[in-house]
């Protein structure tokens, strides 16, 4: 499979070995990442094996983003289901997932429901507490 690079660098490890994994059509989703965005690009880092979308990165204002996470949960649940389905179709069925920047743990909630062992880390203590309490998944805000 020939995946374009687009000049991206991994936000986790800084590697330039990043490939465009998938474009997600957001035209039918009420809440978009940035107003007017029709496509969200998802990238895969071949070095640290993480997924990212630069369009989804928010500036860290030092506060909680719990309200934002709760506002977009339906969209993120759909994306998480689609991501895990796409991985499974391509022969990748992870036994474990560790997510850095997990917010309330939406991806991990979906993965956990599929029997995948999960752990998440985020600097937003309020969002982490909410996700851990609501969904019973292993989320931490301190290393």
In tens, the pLDDT along 52-74 reads: 776 665 444 455 688 878 888 88
Find the mean pLDDT for residues 94-106. Answer: 92
Q: What is the pLDDT of residue 115?
A: 96
The SS3 assignment for 11 reads coil
- Tally: H helices and E strands in the chain: 4, 6
Three-class SS of residue 131? helix
75-96: average pLDDT: 90
Return the exposure string of 21-42: e unless at least 16 CB atoms fall within 10 Å of the residue's CB, then b: bbebebeebeeebeeeeeebbb
pTM of the predicted structure, to 2 decimals: 0.61
In this structure, is the dihedral angle defined by the CA atoms of residues 96, 83, 88 and 104, taken in order, positive or negative?
A: positive
Q: What does DSSP assign to residue 143?
A: -
């Amino acid at each position: 499979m020939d995946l374009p690079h687009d000049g991206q660098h991994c936000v986790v490890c800084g590697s330039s070995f990043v490939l465009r994994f998938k474009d997600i059509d957001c035209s039918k989703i009420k809440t978009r990442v940035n107003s007017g965005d029709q496509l969200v690009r998802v990238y895969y880092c071949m070095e640290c094996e993480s997924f990212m979308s630069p369009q989804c990165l928010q500036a860290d204002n030092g506060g909680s983003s719990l309200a934002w996470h709760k506002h977009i949960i339906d969209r993120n649940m759909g994306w998480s289901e689609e991501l895990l389905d796409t991985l499974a179709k391509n022969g990748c069925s992870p036994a474990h997932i560790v997510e850095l920047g997990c917010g309330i743990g939406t991806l991990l909630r979906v993965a956990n429901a599929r029997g995948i062992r999960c752990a998440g880390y985020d600097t937003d203590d309020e969002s982490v507490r909410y996700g851990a309490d609501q969904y019973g998944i292993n989320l931490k805000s301190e290393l």
